[in-house]
Structure 1
C-alpha cells in the first residue's frame, strides 16, 4: 500500500534541522541524506585529500549558489541535479548540517575499463565521519559496470572503494559510518568487508540504501562475518535494485510514495520523526522480479552472462549515446541504430541474445503463475475476515 502522506527527507530538515547531532544522535535518515549528498558534483569545491578542516556544508552551498546551476565546464545541470543542490542548500541552513565538513572528494570515470566511481567524506562535529559512496549515474558506462557485477567480483569501482576507505582511515581519526544509495550502498558494504582489520574495527555502521548485493562466494568471506550487527540494508516495498544478488544482512522495508522502479528514488521514502516508516514485507512485484532474475542468472554460466551483457551494451552504444538521458532525443534515429547493430551481430551472438532473452521471458512466465495463486489465497483470506 502506498502512503497518502509525502513526508520525506525534505520534511526531515524541517522537523530535525534545528537539532544538532549532540542533541539528537545520528539516525538512519541522516545516513540517507548523506548518501543523497554524494550525488552532488563537488569537483573543484571539495579537496581531494582527507582533511580535518575541509569546507563546511554551509560554505560549499555558498559556492554552489554562485555557480548559477552550472558545472565547472559551464554546462547547465539537469533538473535532477538542481533538486539535489537545492536540497543540499536547505540543509546548509540548518543547525544540524551547516557545520559538517567535507573532504576527500574523488570522482573517477573511465570508459575503457568501464568504471564510474565517486565518494566524499563528511566529518561531523563529534569527530566521527560518514564515508559516502555515490550510486550509479545516468552514464552508459556506470550502468554497464553495475551489470558486470552479475559475473565479476570485484568490479573496478569496488577496488576503488576499498582503497578510498583505507585512505580515510589513515588520514582521519574517529569512528566511521559508511553508506551509499544504489550502487553506492554496494560499494560501502564491499569496502567495509574487504578493508584492513584495524580500519574495520573503527566502523560503527554500514548502510546499504537499496543497493544490490553480492554473489554467495563473496558473502562467505571473513569480512562479512566480522561486520555482523553493523550492516544495515534499507529497501522500499517494491524494491528491484536492492533485491538483486544476495545479501548477508537482513533488510528493513521502507514505505514509499511512488510505485515500481520509481521507489528507488530516495526522496520518495516516507519518514516520520527520526525514523523511516516501515512495512512488513516487500510487494508481490518485488518478489516476482527478484525470483525471476535470480533464477534466470542461475541458469546462465558466468561466461554466458558476460557475453549477453557485452552484446546488449554493444547494441546500446551503437546509438553513440554516453548517457541514458540522451535516448529521448532523436529516438527514431537511436532505434534505427540499435536495429542495425542487432542485424550486424554474427549469427552465433544473435542466437545467444535471443535465447537468453527467451529464457528470461520463460522464467518470468513460470514465476507469475506461482504468484497469482498466492494473491488469490490472500484475497480469499480477506473475504473470510470480512464475513
Structure 2
C-alpha cells in the first residue's frame, strides 16, 4: 500500500498551484522535524537544509532518523519543495526539557512543525507530567515559539506535529485561541486567557529573554494570531488534562483541529481530546504503527481503518479512569517513579521491553490507584507487542 514516501514521489513534480498544500505536506513537515541536527536560526533554502542535515546523519537520537533522510533524498530537486525555505530550527535536550520545532515556508504557506519525543528520558517524563501539569516546560517553549514566529509573517499558518509534537501544536494554538477570546471579551481576566509570557514564566523554562529566540524581520503581522491559523494537525499526539479540555479556548482551537491516529494507537488516544479521530491503517503492527511513515495513504487522503478495542480502553483508562485522582497525588506518584528510575534525565531511554520492565519496577510504593492505571497501560502496550 502507498505511504508518505509514495505521496512525495508522485507529488514532487506538482507545485502548490496545481495541488494545494495539504495534510500530507504537513505530515512530511512533521517527520522532517526529527532531523537530528543542531539548532539554527537563519533561513536556509531546501538544498542548504539538506546539506546541513547530512552532517548529522549518524546521530541516531530518535526512531525516525532513517526515514527522515529517505524523505530528504526524495524532496531534493523537486518542483513542489524546490522553493521551500527552512528557518528557526530548534533541537533542545537538557535535564529539564526536550523540545524541537522548525518553520517551513513554501510560497505563501508557512508550516510550523513541532518535534515529538526522541530517546531522551526527559521527553518521556514530560509526556507523563502532562497528566498533572499544564503548562510543562516543553509546552511553554512551544507556545513561545509560535508566538515569536508569527511576528515575522502575515501569511497563512499550518501548525502540526507528530506524537508529543502534536500535543505541542494543540497547546500553542489553544493559547492563541485564548488570546482571541480575551480580545473578544475585552478583558484581561477572561477565563479563556493565558498569555504566552505567563505560560513561559509558569514553567521556569524560559531562555535569557524569557522566550524562544527566533530570527526574521518583523512585518507588522496581524494582531490576532489565531485567525491566521488555517489548520492544526495532530499526528497521533496525546490530549490534555480535563481542566484544559473543558475550557472554551480548547473548543475554539478544536474547530481547526484534525487528529490522526493509527488503528492500534497507544499515544494519540491518551488523555482528553476530541475523539472524532481520523483512524488510519498502517503497514506495520503494534507499537510500530506510531511511526507515521507506515501509515497508508491514497493521493491526499489517508486510508481509513477502525480504532482497536485496546486503543479505546486506553482512552477510557486515561480519562474517566483517573477522574477521581487529584493532580497532587499524580505528581507525587510520578515524581517518585522518575526518582526510582535512577537514570540521567538527558540520557537515552529507549522504549524497549527491558526498559518497560525497568519502568514497572520503579512503581513500588506509589498510590495504588495510579499503579492500577499504569498497570493497565503497560498491559495494553505489552498486549500489542505480543501481537507481532
Instruction: Give the TM-score taking structure 2 as reference length.
Output: 0.77
Distance 2:27 2:367 in 1: 38
Partner of 1:308: 333
TM superposition shift of 1:186: 0.6
Aligned 1:1-387 pairs, distance under 5 A:
5=1, 7-43=2-38, 47-48=40-41, 54-65=43-54, 67=55, 69-70=57-58, 80-111=64-95, 114-125=96-107, 127-195=108-176, 196-197=179-180, 198-248=224-274, 250-279=276-305, 281-318=306-343, 322-325=347-350, 350-352=364-366, 356-358=370-372, 360-361=374-375
Distance 2:377 2:293 in 1: 32
Distance 1:319 1:353 in 2: 24
Whether the 8 Å CA contact 1:192–1:223 is kept in 2: the answer is: no
Distance 2:336 2:64 in 1: 30
- Cα distance change, pair 160–358 in 1 and its aligned pair in 2 (3 A): closer
Whether the 8 Å CA contact 2:93–2:120 is kept in 1: the answer is: no
Runs of at least 5 residues in structure 1 that lack an aligned partner in the other structure: 343-348, 368-387
Equivalent position SS for 2:365: helix
Distance 1:363 1:164 in 2: 32
Distance 1:163 1:150 in 2: 21
Runs of at least 5 residues in structure 2 that lack an aligned partner in the other structure: 181-223, 381-388
Deviations 1:88-146 (A, max 9, x none): 222223211122100111233331xx311111100112x22000011111110010000
More helix by share: 1
The Cα RMSD (Å) is 3.0
TM superposition shift of 1:214: 1.1
Distance 2:359 2:246 in 1: 40
TM superposition shift of 1:231: 1.0
- Cα distance change, pair 222–295 in 1 and its aligned pair in 2 (3 A): closer
Larger Rg: 1
Partner of 1:383: none
Whether the 8 Å CA contact 1:213–1:243 is kept in 2: the answer is: yes
The more displaced of 304-313 and 351-360 is 351-360
Whether the 8 Å CA contact 2:45–2:83 is kept in 1: the answer is: yes
Whether the 8 Å CA contact 1:256–1:269 is kept in 2: the answer is: yes
TM superposition shift of 1:323: 0.8
Equivalent position SS for 1:43: coil
Equivalent position SS for 2:313: helix
TM superposition shift of 1:211: 0.3
TM superposition shift of 1:83: 2.9
Whether the 8 Å CA contact 1:27–1:275 is kept in 2: the answer is: no
Instruction: Give the TM-score taking structure 1 as reference length.
Output: 0.78
